[in-house]
Amino acid sequence: GENVEQHPSTLSVQEGDSAVIKCTYSDSASNYFPWYKQELGKRPQLIIDIRSNVGEKKDQRIAVTLNKTAKHFSLHITETQPEDSAVYFCAATRGGGADGLTFGKGTHLIIQP
């Protein structure tokens, strides 16, 4: 089955700086890679996703890149703000999102004021 590794487990950055979280996956048939943000006591919220037919996707301050050859994908957050503080999870699956997700272990992002 799929295995997703996520690094780092904790990331502390100064407000206004950029943050990068990296994930690798093992199943070459995986074709859908979402990122979820989870604040304490709340449900995971989708913040961005990417499919295997594109290499990069941006949404305002958030971007995701995908390298299918190396089987890794990354989340980039620019101009970080205090409200970006949360746990971020990457995930991977086949079936374009219609299959169950395999999650990484999560990254606790701390934005220092």
Partner 1 sequence: SAVISQKPSRDICQRGTSLTIQCQVDSQVTMMFWYRQQPGQSLTLIATANQGSEATYESGFVIDKFPISRPNLTFSTLTVSNMSPEDSSIYLCSVYGGSGDTQYFGPGTRLTVL
- Residues that bind partner 1 in the complex, under the rule CB under 8 A: 1, 34, 36, 42-46, 49, 89, 96-106
How many Cα atoms are found within 13 Å in the side-chain-facing hemisphere of 21?
Answer: 31
CB of 113 to partner 1, least distance (A): 25
Main-chain phi, psi angles of 13, to 5 degrees: -130, 155
Tally Cβ neighbours within 10 Å of residue 48: 19
DSSP 26: -
Cβ proximity to partner 1: between 43 and 60 the closer is 43
Question: Considering beta carbons, is residue 42 or 60 the nearer one to partner 1?
Answer: 42
Nearer to partner 1, 9 or 18 (CB): 9
Provide the minimum distance between the beta carbon of 36 and partner 1 in the complex, in angstroms, as a whole number.
8
3-state secondary structure 49-107: EEECCCCEEEECCEEEEEECCCCEEEEEECCCCHHHCEEEEEEEECHHHCCCCEECCCE
Nearer to partner 1, 77 or 88 (CB): 88
Nearest distance in Å: CB 16, partner 1: 29
Shortest Cβ 55–partner 1 spacing (Å): 19
